[in-house]
Amino acid sequence: MTNKELGKAIRELLKTNGYNIKGISVRVKAALYDTSVNITVKDLTISTSDIDKLVSGKFEKIDYCERSMEILAGGNTYVSVQYDHEAVAAARESKMEEAQQLWDQAQSTCKRNTGMTVARDEKNGTHATLMLGSHDGENCLVIFVDGKSCSCNERGKWAAYNVYALAEGLVFYELHGRFR
């Protein structure tokens, strides 16, 4: 399959699964003897992790050495899905004032290894908590379900090392009820 055919097949897969492909850019390029598929999502209401699972499951192919488990060169197809940086920046900007207020409140009222709830999703029964200096000493947003924190692979932990990162985390939590 040529790169052009692969791009067309991915667009068709997305279309048949109900995605509006006008908000999604698919670029397929040769990378030495491998193929690189870059998908950029401009619509922040679309989950990149859902698209990644869909496209990677069907088109990603990576060969490994059976002995050392190193990636073998040539013939691999890598899939990368990310949000459009300009769309994320615009959404983050809309949350900056709220994030600044929450950040200042947390800094003045919370001690190290404690946190405060900054957002709730009643529909899913979750809430996001800004934890100060937790786990690895960094500030982070953590999603809790029924009082228990979710695993990082499931829904979430988001590095909230500054107000910008907090605002971005709030955007994704509000849109998806998770950070990825």
Asked if the model's pLDDT at residue 151 lies above 60, the reply is no
Question: pTM of the full predicted structure?
Answer: 0.77
Asked if the model's pLDDT at residue 22 lies above 70, the reply is yes
In terms of C-beta distances under 8 Å and separation of at least 24 residues, what long-range contacts does 103-109 make, across chains too? 103/130, 103/163, 103/166, 106/130, 106/132, 107/132
pLDDT band (50, 70, 90) for residue 179: low
**How far is residue 143's CA from residue 154's CA, in Å, rounded to a whole number?**
10
| Residue 82 structure tokens | 């990310």
Domain ranges of the chain: 3-83, 87-176
CATH class belonging to 3-83: alpha beta
Which residue in 1, 29, 25, 2 sits closest to 14, CA to CA? 25
Helices (H), the chain: 3-16, 48-59, 85-109, 163-176
